[in-house]
Amino acid sequence: MAGRNSKVRYAVVGLGHIAQAAVLPAFAHAQRNSRLVAIVSGDPIKRREVAKKYQLDQAYSYAEYERCLENVDAVYVALPNSMHAEYTIRAARARVHVLCEKPMAVSVHECRRMINACEKYRVKLMIAYRLHFEEINLRAVDLVRQGRIGSPKFFNSSFAMMVRGGNIRTQTELGGGTLYDIGVYCINAARYLFRSEPVEVLAMSVHSGAQELSEIDESTGAILRFTKGRLAAFVTSFNAWDVSSYRIVGTKGQIHVDPAYEYAEGLGFELIANGKKTRKTVGKRDQFAPQLLYFSDCIRNDRKPEPSGEEGMQDVRIIQALYRSTKTGRAVRIQSSADRKRPSSAQRIRRPGVRKPRLVKAASARQG
């Protein structure tokens, strides 16, 4: 296993769009403490061509996963949502650390099993909330915390895209659905901006009849009630024009972040307070290398990483409650959880943007 001064050896598990477009290229910006040594995929063409591109001599099928685990210190799990729990638990049993894509899993029960397995085998578990390390979102968090908009009162967000038919996000069996895929960003943002946990949620899903989205919620509107008279509202959709933004409004001003959740372009915000407007933007940055750098340091220095499994589980708990509300038409109370005070600018890590590589049998979820 990796020592304090050695690089952490990673396998990337799953070679879909996010892995090929963002995770694999990020290792070039994480060379200080991280090294890509293996890939895992069920597609032999992907294994061969991606291994050749990154000069890897270890490329495994899913059936060979345990053999892969014998030769790495950590895995980046970039599989469909329904597979996160299984491949995390199998890695933990092999005493391999896990950096898992969000959502953490498709149920609180699965999340708890993941956390328990990692604790039992004494390995690190981190959920890949890349925006916990990103400058614009962390700046917004700091401005709210510093009281620049007064007391925060409400949060509003929109996240939508036109999703290709047949994409894994449209398949219930694979953990598809707008709340799991993009709603998790809105929920997490509301939580880290309010620095608090919702106590009650209400949601409604609608469907226009699009056959390719028949298995999931095409669009969902949600309201989260927090303590101290605060509300968060958001809409997610897989059948609407691309939008990715949020606004948090307080007693003395507001912050509008747009784009807010993207990784393939620059982000920016506008602060309106005391009769003045302040605009800040950053160009495209590598949002994945910071996660690798931070997680590898946690492994080498034996620190618990944040965002942790508990952080990921709370978002899944809220997602499950929202889906329950869409079925019953009633508000659902959320199990109490200690308010989480992170992230903050102390976790900011900057790395330059990466050029999108040629993809092998992988395509973006977006149409066009």
- Angle at CA of residue 227, ends 224 and 228, nearest 5°: 125
- The answer to whether 10 is a known catalytic residue is no
Contact 270, 256 (CB under 8 A): yes
Handedness of CA 315, 321, 190, 83 (dihedral sign): positive
In whole angstroms, give the CA distance from residue 337 to residue 43: 41
Instruction: Please report where in the chains the tokens 């092998």 appear, as a residue.
Output: 360
The label of the residue with tokens 């608090």 reads: 196
Rounded Cα gap, residues 121 and 117, in angstroms: 6
Catalytic residue among 10, 60, 76, 102: 102
**Dihedral through CA 193, CA 196, CA 197, CA 201, nearest 10?**
-60
185 is catalytic: yes
Helix (H/G/I), strand (E/B), else coil: 190 = helix
Phi-psi label, residue 316: left if phi above 0, alpha if psi -120 to 50, beta otherwise: alpha
Q: Tokens 């879909």 — which residue?
A: 16
First to last CA, the chain: 43
Q: Which of the residues 129, 180, 185, 294 is marked catalytic?
A: 185
Of 315, 245, 259, the C-alpha closest to 287 is 259
Positions marked active-site:
102, 185
